A and B are shown apart, each in its own frame.
Chain A
Amino acid sequence: MPYLIVQYSFDTPLSDEALRAAFDALKPCLEVRGIRRLRSWLADDRRRMICEYQATDAQTVREAYLSAGVGYAQIWPGQLFEFGPPAHPGP
């Protein structure tokens, strides 16, 4: 199944409460569409975020977000490149 990336940007740093509310609202909308959530990255400044999914197509993910009333900046399908475990850090 294709990988889908959702990008967000926020004018003000995202609070934990807002983040939790968004994930809670999304959960059933993703489930009903068979969308699999893989992982999310929240920037340290909490103004940007990326979520990774597996879904049939981008529009299905958009509709899940829109149904849940959760905003996003962009949603796009992509390919995954994996590079193995991180290199051994220096002393």
Chain B
Amino acid sequence: MARARAKTEVERLEIRLLGELAVLREGRPCPLPASKKTRALLAYLVASGRAHGRESLCELLWEVPDDPRGSLRWSLSKLRPILDGPGAQRLVADRERVAFEANGAEVDLHCVRALSAKGLAAASLDELATAARRFEGPFLEGLDLQNCVPFYAWCAAEREQARALHLAVRRTLVARMRATPDLAIAHARALVALDPMAESSHLEVIRLLAAAGRTRDALEECDRCRSILEEQIGTRASPELDRLRASLRLPPASECSEPRPPPRAAAARPGPSPARPAALVGRARELELFDELARRGREGARASGIVVVGDSGIGKTRLLEEFAGRVRAGGGSVLEGRAFEAEGIRPYGVWLEALRGIPREAVADHLRTDLALLLPELGAAAVGGDRPRLFDALLQLLRAARGSAPLLAVLLDDLQWMDEASAALLHYVARASEGEPIVLACAARAGELEDNAAARAVVQALERDRRMLRLSLPPLSAADTALLSSQVSPDVDAERVHAESEGNPLFVLELAGALSRRETDASATLGRLVRDRLGALGDPEQAVLPWASALGRSFEADTLARVSGLSAPQLVDGLGRLERHGVLRATGGGGYDFAHDVVRNAAYARMSEPRRRLVHLQIAGALWKGPTDGKVAGEVLHHAALAGEQELAARAAVAAGEYCIRLFAYADARDLSRRGLGHAARLPLRQRLPLEIELLGLRASWPTGGELAEIDGALEQAGRAAERAGLLEAAARALQFRLIILYGGGDFAGALASAARLAEKGRDGSSAALRHQLGSARCFAILEQDMASVARVLEEATRSLGPEPEALEFYWARGLVSRFLGDYAPAIRDLERAASQTSGEDRHWEYCWCANALSLAELERGDPRAAARWASRAEEVARRIGEGAERPAAAALRALASMGEDPGAWASFSRSLEAVRAADGKGMLSCLANLAAERALTEGNGRRARELAEEALAAATAVSQRSQVMVARALLARQAMARADAREVAAQLSELEAALSLGRWAASARARAAAEKVRDDAAGTAAEERAPAQ
């Protein structure tokens, strides 16, 4: 008994995935969370019908660094009250896993799948008709989440499967209902709508129309089919269509009883579009707050901005427009920008919109080169700028845009779609314009703002700093709803309008319009109302709508002309009509904008899935001008992704990412990298690898901490795969990106190991790459960093380029490696060869560097005359270099070489060393000071030796010269031993022991010998001290 009662208490829950996501409790729609990701989570759990690990759900939807598990928890807390009910727990979650359990809930997709599993052939006609009715639109219509690649990929695959299921159901129905052609036609037409390019569906419609005696309609269908095949996919109709058409004969006009329908455009001309009311209804409190913002802005008080949040259609944009009107009326200036959903990938998108309102001549000359990065129409861009400089220039531009006006209002709409770079700029402007007559008025959709980490963070930060006030826009009251609906038609039932629209102004306008035309039933949704209104438009409008809606909410007329292939008269006519119907509005400068995003979505939803793909494919192809046009590459990516063109999408992601990097929009570049990788993953290996490497490379220069190892590992893996596939260029690119990461992280050893591998590749690939690596190897040898890898690169070079390559860098680097290893004869031979290669040319610095290195080598091996000779040559040539440490270093070397013979040598050395100090040449300073300290020790001048060795130690430590650090410590230990400072000796020996333990490649042979000698001397001294005691 109790059990039976519990069962009756379970509410009836219906979940619709086919079409827009909807949850109905006892037949009434439940409000769904505004956050798209939360809705996506609901759909995913319900559609998959199985348990998922929390980790994998985070990866699916929250591939962001900021607390993905927290976001998942928040979303689940929003879903529980929707899914669970008294007596039924449907969202089952523990610490690890989350699952949806139906528990009596009806899921449309599952019902259709169950029918299909049973076999459609065995299903009854009623069951099939019910299944067909369940397909209200494409699977999860409007919930693509393009920025979440894993979810997007899952959704696209499910959508395709659902479409195939829908086609199968309709085909079965058509086959079963041939005997009743009048009834079957609707299903055949649905097949055409699902796949307009399938000729077989058109033929089915034609046959059924003919069987129903509707010959004229059948003939029109023939013509429509032919035109679709020829114009949209460029193929000829089959002989079957010609045969069918030939078989259709119209009866003589006098016998024709078939009423000819009026032309479509005239058939159901929609009534007046929901006119924009002249006055804003309600919102008095909100306008007061905006007026206060403007007042504070004008007075230079700490003016906070305002961000208006609310549901779609609640009137956010209208409120901003009202504010703009008031600012203008008060003599102020206004800049307006809006972010677009497809545009999370165009850096600074919302600002670009706003800046477009500034006349070009208002841009000061000194700002042009900085701003040209963002606004190329201003001329050549500065090279080597940075983000702060760009932001500063943009703020100056805003100041110039205000001019002498008392206030500048910057209106930024739809912040929920703002990209990271725009968010950073918003933060900067809000903070840096404090106290200036510049105010920010923004709007964002509630809930969806939470999905955009960058936008959410900046709004929260500005709220915290009291620079931004969050203003939630409530629904209209019953009285305001009545006032608004009476502006559309005074006769409509205002109470009904308020009850059904729940005070949403856009809904009020659409519903009032539909009621006044008697075009709606009781269960209309806003989307359905708008879709019906669009459906009643004429052919000229219908020709333009698909292209316009696929392009996005806002578009330029010339772009539309380029991508659609429509003639100019067709466009002018169609755009004009759409404007008159309130579907579009002109934004100036040849731009158009849908009246509202809801209208754009409705227009887009009217296209079948294959048609959409075709339209997006054509748009992507028309916009893509190659990898150099980074500015439109983001749009190309959007359209190519929707067209299912994976390769073009991945290529566009590379181009768009490189563009972002040029504009310092690194977080956006990172997002593009992730999205591009999602597309590249679906390509065959040889197409995939080069793109994958470039996409990973987008993150190589500015990896965030946690990413570094991950990207490096991925690049290594991709590089090796490319190598195995014989894609040498791609493999070399992978190594180059890895070098950037490794240099950036200070991992010289890793970088050189990569360089060595690149050198290996040079044998098979281009020797140019190897020569480039020889240049790097020389630099590492100069810095004395990871000499083991330098030696490996050189070995590879001899195998690849022969034993005596004609490369200055080779001999230079090999000479330094030999000197490092204490092999002075080959070192001097190689360095002389390097020097001789530079002496005939205008390469003074190279010659000077080699000559100084030779002088040092000669001093180290004990040939002061030869050292003096090289030092003199270096000194002579260094005169031509200009400032720098080369000349004083050469003079110091010459002085060192003459010590013991020239009494003025020390004075001369000290002067030269002072000049080296002044030139801030720490590397050279440490070498010279160590050599001089050694000399001072042998002369018995302990104090001088100590001072010089301490200076050498400090300088060598600053530039990470490990060999010179060791030499200095050895000298300090020897000096400490001389003055019997046991503590100092022990301290230095401990450091030296640690350095010696690093192996022969960690420091030069000379440094190691010095350390070992002092260690042995100390051990000997200790033994001597112990001996008497024994």
- Interface on A for B, CB 8 Å cutoff? 16, 19-20, 23, 28-29, 31-34, 37-40, 42, 44, 51, 56-60, 62-63, 66-67, 74-77, 85, 88-89, 91
Contact = CB atoms under 8 A, between A and B. Distances in A.
Given A28-B776, A88-B300, A34 B743 contact: yes
B782 interface: yes
Contact of A40 (B384, B399, B779): B384
A37 B384 contact: yes
Given A31-B743, A33-B779, A44-B365, A59 B384 contact: no
B435 to A, nearest CB: 5
B921 interface: yes
Contacts of A58: 919-921
Contacts of B366: 44
B696 to A, nearest CB: 18
Given A31-B740, A32-B743, A44-B365, A57 B923 contact: yes
A40 B388 CA distance: 12
A38 B921 CA distance: 21
Given A19-B383, A74-B883, A91-B404, A32 B780 contact: yes
A74 B1009 CA distance: 39
A60 B919 CA distance: 11
Contact of A20 (B383, B846, B849): B383
A16 B958 CA distance: 36
26 contacts: A28-B775, A32-B776, A34-B746, A39-B388, A39-B389, A56-B922, A57-B921, A57-B922, A57-B958, A59-B884, A59-B921, A59-B922, A59-B923, A59-B924, A60-B922, A62-B921, A63-B782, A63-B845, A66-B846, A66-B881, A75-B884, A76-B920, A88-B300, A89-B399, A91-B404, A91-B437
A73 to B, nearest CB: 8
Interface string B354-385: 00000000000110010000000000111111
B386 interface: yes
Contact of A23 (B384, B388, B919): B384
Given A39-B386, A59-B920, 20 more contacts: A19-B384, A23-B383, A31-B740, A31-B743, A31-B744, A38-B386, A39-B388, A56-B922, A56-B958, A56-B960, A57-B921, A57-B923, A59-B921, A59-B922, A62-B885, A75-B884, A76-B920, A85-B432, A88-B436, A89-B399
Contacts of B289: none
Contacts of B982: none
B384 A16 contact: no
B221 to A, nearest CB: 60
Nearest to A46: B369
Nearest to B955: A57
A23 B385 CA distance: 11
A40 B369 CA distance: 13
B770 to A, nearest CB: 15
A89 B740 CA distance: 42
A-B pairs with lowest CB-CB distance, top 9: A59-B921, A58-B920, A66-B845, A57-B922, A32-B779, A56-B959, A16-B380, A59-B885, A57-B920
A25 to B, nearest CB: 11
Contacts of B845: 63, 66
A17 B884 CA distance: 27
B365 A33 contact: no
Interface residues of B, number: 45
A76 B740 CA distance: 27
Contacts of B300: 88
A79 B849 CA distance: 29
A32 B923 CA distance: 16
B111 interface: no
A58 to B, nearest CB: 4
Contacts of A29: 779
Contacts of B435: 88
B884 A57 contact: no
Nearest to A40: B384
Interface string B714-756: 0000000000000000000000000010011010000000000
A66 B782 CA distance: 13
A34 B746 CA distance: 7
B978 interface: no
A58 B924 CA distance: 11
A7 to B, nearest CB: 10
Given A32-B776, A34-B743, A85-B432, A40 B920 contact: no
A58 B881 CA distance: 15
A43 B404 CA distance: 28
B6 interface: no
Contacts of B960: 56
Nearest to B772: A28
B783 interface: yes
B783 A42 contact: no
A88 B432 CA distance: 9
Contact of A60 (B381, B399, B846, B923): B923
Given A32-B780, A56-B960, A67-B779, A42 B386 contact: no
Given A32-B743, A32-B776, A67-B779, A59 B958 contact: no
B382 A42 contact: yes
B434 to A, nearest CB: 8
A28 B744 CA distance: 11
Nearest to B379: A16
Interface string B775-793: 1100110110000000000
Contact of A57 (B385, B388, B779, B959): B959
A85 B629 CA distance: 35
A42 B386 CA distance: 13
Contacts of A33: 779, 783
Nearest to B380: A16
A19 B435 CA distance: 38
Contacts of A75: 883-884
Contact of A77 (B399, B775, B884, B920): B920
Which of A19, A29, A66, A88: most chain B CB closer than 10 A? Answer: A66
A45 to B, nearest CB: 11
Nearest to A24: B383
A16 B383 contact: yes
Contacts of B780: 32
Contacts of A66: 845-846, 881, 884
A50 to B, nearest CB: 12
B120 to A, nearest CB: 63
Contacts of A60: 922-923, 959
A56 B955 CA distance: 10
A40 B389 CA distance: 10
A42 B385 CA distance: 10
Nearest to B751: A32
A58 B740 CA distance: 23
Contacts of A23: 383-384
Contacts of B920: 57-59, 76-77
Nearest to A4: B920
Nearest to B785: A32
Contacts of A34: 743, 746
A57 B845 CA distance: 18
Nearest to A64: B779
A31 B3 CA distance: 74
Contacts of B382: 42
Contacts of A63: 782, 845, 849
